[in-house]
Amino acid sequence: MATALGIVYVVWGSTYLGIAVMVRTLPPLVAAGFRYALSGAILLVAIAVWRRVRGEPGLRLTRPQLRSVVIIGTLLLLGGNGGVVLGEQYIASGIAALIIATTPIWLALFEALAGGHRPGGLAVAGLIAGTVGVAILVVPLEGSPPINVIGIALVGSAAITWSVGSIYSRRAPLPHSSFEGAGFQMLVGGSVMLVVGIATGELSAVDTSSFSTESVIALGYLILFGSIITFPTYIWLVNHTPVSVFSTTAYVNPIVAVTLGVLILNEPMTPRMWLAAAIILGAVVALVTGRPRAVSEVEPIVEPEPGAESGPEPESAR
């Protein structure tokens, strides 16, 4: 269990660093779309081969399941991870991770609303605290440069979109196998990201000769480690450990992301950033550890990142 937790903590926390390096020279939506489409295809092929060896039925999607996969994949990957990769063109990877850390708060809020209930006190308090934390990052202060509002808005919308997609997925018809559902979601959602990226002119505006080795390596890292290896590891944790254990990724991943951003990318961490981090993470810790089990089991889908990609899924839109 410790090894699995370590993988999820470090690798998913490091995906924000990987994204920051990737978008330096690669077109963001096209690169991210390629990442997920390829990861989904590899996962589905592996499942198909495994089932064939065991003499089990192959992959199959009903029409309602296909509709769900398209909706969820679009919300989670285009809206969720797409917002992160676009946002990290304007803000530091650690700041993006802190904003995405508010996802459990949005999940608790939307889950209550979807169930026709008033949000609990923890959800409301968490939302207020998280909003205050983000506001501290945005409001200009004398002697402290403001953080790009466009980047904040893109990543903030990603956390909300990821949460909406996650709540929808809990009631949508999906394949019985979480791995199969995740594979289809990554394949379809990644393909949607590719189409949108191409349609918005990302490829025509980029000279492929300008692609750096570091960005290409970062993309490869995100495909192999961020999606193919870590996602099954997280699913194992969900199925073999208490909610109180695997839900810790909600606040450990941002800490890892901030640390790596400072150490490797030399991203600055000003006093107000530390204050915002303390408020946001404090709200998430209180919510995750204090909410009822029924709400705690609401997890984002793939990445995870986000997760993050059916059934229990990753904690953020990595």
What DSSP string describes 33-79? HHHHHHHHHHHHHHHHHHHHHHT-------HHHHHHHHHHHIIIIII
Please compute the mean of the pLDDT values over residues 20-46 and round it to a whole number.
Answer: 94
Per the domain annotation, does 165 fall within a domain? Answer: yes
Q: How many domains does the chain have?
A: 1
Separation between Cα atoms, residue 172 and residue 115, nearest integer Å:
14
Separation between Cα atoms, residue 297 and residue 85, nearest integer Å:
27
Residue 298: the pLDDT is 40
Separation between Cα atoms, residue 95 and residue 79, nearest integer Å:
18
Per the domain annotation, does 310 fall within a domain? Answer: no
Per the domain annotation, does 305 fall within a domain? Answer: no
DSSP summary character for residue 210: G
pLDDT of 276 higher than 60: yes
Please compute the mean of the pLDDT values over residues 82-97 and round it to a whole number.
Answer: 94
CA 183 to chain centre: 15
Residue 142: the pLDDT is 63
Per the domain annotation, does 317 fall within a domain? Answer: no
Residue 315: the pLDDT is 43
Per the domain annotation, does 314 fall within a domain? Answer: no
CA dihedral 190, 165, 180, 306 (to 10 degrees): 70
121-138 and 103-114 helices, crossing angle to 10°? 140
Please compute the mean of the pLDDT values over residues 23-49 and round it to a whole number.
Answer: 94
pTM: 0.85
- Find out whether 13 and 263 touch, Cβ atoms under 8 Å: no
Per the domain annotation, does 7 fall within a domain? Answer: yes
Residue 238: the pLDDT is 65
Per the domain annotation, does 278 fall within a domain? Answer: yes
Residue 152: the pLDDT is 93
pLDDT of 163 higher than 60: yes
Q: Amino acid identity of 42?
A: I
Separation between Cα atoms, residue 259 and residue 114, nearest integer Å:
36
Give backbone dihedrals phi and psi of 261, rounded to 5 degrees, phi first. Answer: -60, -40
Please compute the mean of the pLDDT values over residues 282-293 and round it to a whole number.
Answer: 72
Separation between Cα atoms, residue 283 and residue 178, nearest integer Å:
29
- Find out whether 57 and 166 touch, Cβ atoms under 8 Å: no
Separation between Cα atoms, residue 182 and residue 203, nearest integer Å:
27
Per the domain annotation, does 304 fall within a domain? Answer: no
The domain in which residue 162 lies consists of: 2-296
